[in-house]
Amino acid sequence: MANTVHPVASANAFSTTLNGTINDTVTTITLTSVTNLSTSGGVLVIDRQDGSGNNTPTVREFISFTGVSGSDLTGVTRGIAGSTAQSHNSGALVEETMSVTHWLDMRSYLAAEHTATGTHVISTATITTSIQASGATGVISDWMVTRRLYASGASTLLTDATISRSLNVTSGASITGNFPLSPMWYMPGFASAATTNVMRIGGMPTSGTFQFFTMMTRTPVSTASLTLDINKNGTSIFDTIGRINILGGGTFASTASIATKAFASGDVFTVDIDTGGNVDSITLIGHARGI
Contacts of 154 (CB under 8 A, 6+ apart): 133, 134, 135, 136, 137, 138, 173, 174
Question: The domain containing residue 249 runs over which residues?
Answer: 181-291
pLDDT digits (tens, 9 = 90+) for 101-133: 888 888 777 776 666 666 666 555 555 555 555
pLDDT digits (tens, 9 = 90+) for 211-242: 899 988 888 888 788 888 999 999 999 987 78
The pLDDT of residue 146: 46
* Residues 146, 231 within the same domain: no
pLDDT digits (tens, 9 = 90+) for 236-266: 999 877 889 888 888 999 888 899 999 988 8
Q: What percent helix, strand, coil does the chain show, rounded to 5?
A: 5, 45, 50
Quote the pTM value. Answer: 0.44
Cα–Cα nearest to 245, from 268, 270, 276, 269: 276
Number of domains in the chain: 3
* Residues 191, 281 within the same domain: yes
Cα–Cα nearest to 18, from 77, 94, 87: 94
- Which among 177, 206, 223 is the end of a domain? 177
- Mean pLDDT for all residues in the chain: 80
64 vs 94: CA distance, rounded Å? 12
* Residues 161, 239 within the same domain: no
Query: Residue 261 maps to which CATH number?
Result: 2.60.120.1340
